[in-house]
Amino acid sequence: MSKGRLEAFSDGVIAILITILVLELRVPKGADLASLRPLLPVFLTYVLSFVFLGIYWNNHHHMLHLAERVNGRILWANLHLLFWLSLVPFTTGWMGENHFASLPTAAYGVVLLMAAIAYTILQRTIIAGHGPSSRLFAAIGSDVKGKLSVALYAAAIALAFVNQWLSDALYVTVALIWLVPDRRIESRVDG
């Protein structure tokens, strides 16, 4: 079974999610700077979520590039990942419109945590379909970044009820960790 449609469908969903995000940026009534100001937190969460969805698309691109074939399990593991990503516009809007209040900030982290877990499941499902001698298995290695992200998301969710700015700082930290494309896989491909 070819992986082309899996890639195309995932591209479609992520492309739509990334553009649905911007619909939360409602056009303000006024035409002056003051009417833009309440949009600032919404805009900042938009930038953060755009980067997160960009990271997922990027890593998905790299991972599928090394996959040689897909099966029914992989299709469902992929839909599971897309499910959690599809909730990102909702938690982004909720966090932005409530100016980073505790519960929405924690909810934002829960969705990111579930997406990270879904990504790990997808990764393992693909490896299971290719065997431990596959290029992907070698490229993933110990998956330090993946494990670190899960730990940081969990910490951010708990911290949201203490001081939500710490949570936001952790979200930005995870984004920065991943913003560098996954050299483990890329170097494998080039080398």
The residue ranges that bind a copy of itself (CB under 8 A) are: 1-2, 5-9, 11-25, 27-28, 30-33, 36, 47, 50, 54, 57-58, 61-62, 65, 71-73, 75-76, 79, 82-83, 86-87, 89-90, 93-94, 97-98, 101-104, 179-183, 186, 189-190
- Residue 90 or 137: the one with the smaller Cβ distance to a copy of itself is 90
- Residue 142 or 180: the one with the smaller Cβ distance to a copy of itself is 180
Closest contact distance (angstroms) between CB of 154 and a copy of itself is 20
Closest contact distance (angstroms) between CB of 24 and a copy of itself is 7
Closest contact distance (angstroms) between CB of 153 and a copy of itself is 20
Going 116 to 117 to 120 to 125, the CA torsion angle's sign is negative
Cβ count near 37 (within 10 Å): 10
Return the residue matching tokens 């990102």: 88
- Residue 151 or 158: the one with the smaller Cβ distance to a copy of itself is 158
34 contacts: CB under 8 Å, gap ≥ 6: none
- Residue 7 or 143: the one with the smaller Cβ distance to a copy of itself is 7
- Between CA 3 and CA 68 the distance in angstroms is 8
Closest contact distance (angstroms) between CB of 79 and a copy of itself is 4
- Residue 132 or 180: the one with the smaller Cβ distance to a copy of itself is 180
Closest contact distance (angstroms) between CB of 165 and a copy of itself is 15
